[in-house]
Amino acid sequence: MNLTISDRSIREIYKFVERHGVQELVCAELKITIPLVGLSIVFFQPERYDESIVCYFDFGNDVAFFFGDVFSAIEGEKDAQQAIIKEHRINADTLKRNDDYIHHVLEYCEKNFDLLTSVPPCWFQRAARIADAATRETFPDLADDDMRRKQQLWESWRK
């Protein structure tokens, strides 16, 4: 796994897994995946040299949302994103930052478990728009592809 996290985070993850009857925790190099029904919560280290971790919700087939985008979609964009970024901005103690981040994410997932795992998720369309706005300016081609995949998944739920 090799993520820069302490036993505290490992315990929190396992508690979460136990509470929600997750059968198998998937640990890979620089990545840990908690599979739920319909989506997975993934913690991973996106950069090579920077050990700060990020969380995303993965629906498979290249449909995924950063935790921050989902959080903003549910809580409102105005302050939510800022709160997350500021609270978990990279600082001198990456280990503590990562532990705090995992704690924050799992606590939020615990409180909003039904909302997050509902099908179709009520936050999905809004989070898609937030993610699209973050990508489109720099990579319009990738934003188009991403939105198309998300719409396909959304439509499959609506049928």
Residues that bind other proteins (CB under 8 A): 29-31, 44-50, 52, 54, 56, 62, 64, 66, 68, 84-85, 88-90, 131-132, 134-135, 138-139, 142-143, 145-146
Residue 19 or 82: the one with the smaller Cβ distance to other proteins is 82
Q: How far is the CB of 77 from other proteins (least distance, A)?
A: 14
Residue 1 or 20: the one with the smaller Cβ distance to other proteins is 1
Does residue 146 come out as left (phi exceeding 0), alpha (psi in the -120 to 50 range) or beta? alpha
Strands 26-28 and 63-66, sheet pairing = unpaired
Residue 14 or 139: the one with the smaller Cβ distance to other proteins is 139
Q: How far is the CB of 92 from other proteins (least distance, A)?
A: 13
Q: Identify which of 38, 32, 37, 40 has the alpha carbon closest to the alpha carbon of residue 14.
A: 32
Burial of 75 (0-12, 13-18, 19+ CB in 10 A): middle
Q: Which residues contact 58 (CB under 8 A, 6 or more apart)?
A: 33, 39, 40, 41, 42, 64
Q: How far is the CB of 76 from other proteins (least distance, A)?
A: 17
Say how far apart CA 79 and CA 109 lie, in whole Å: 18
Residue 47 or 155: the one with the smaller Cβ distance to other proteins is 47
Q: How far is the CB of 19 from other proteins (least distance, A)?
A: 27
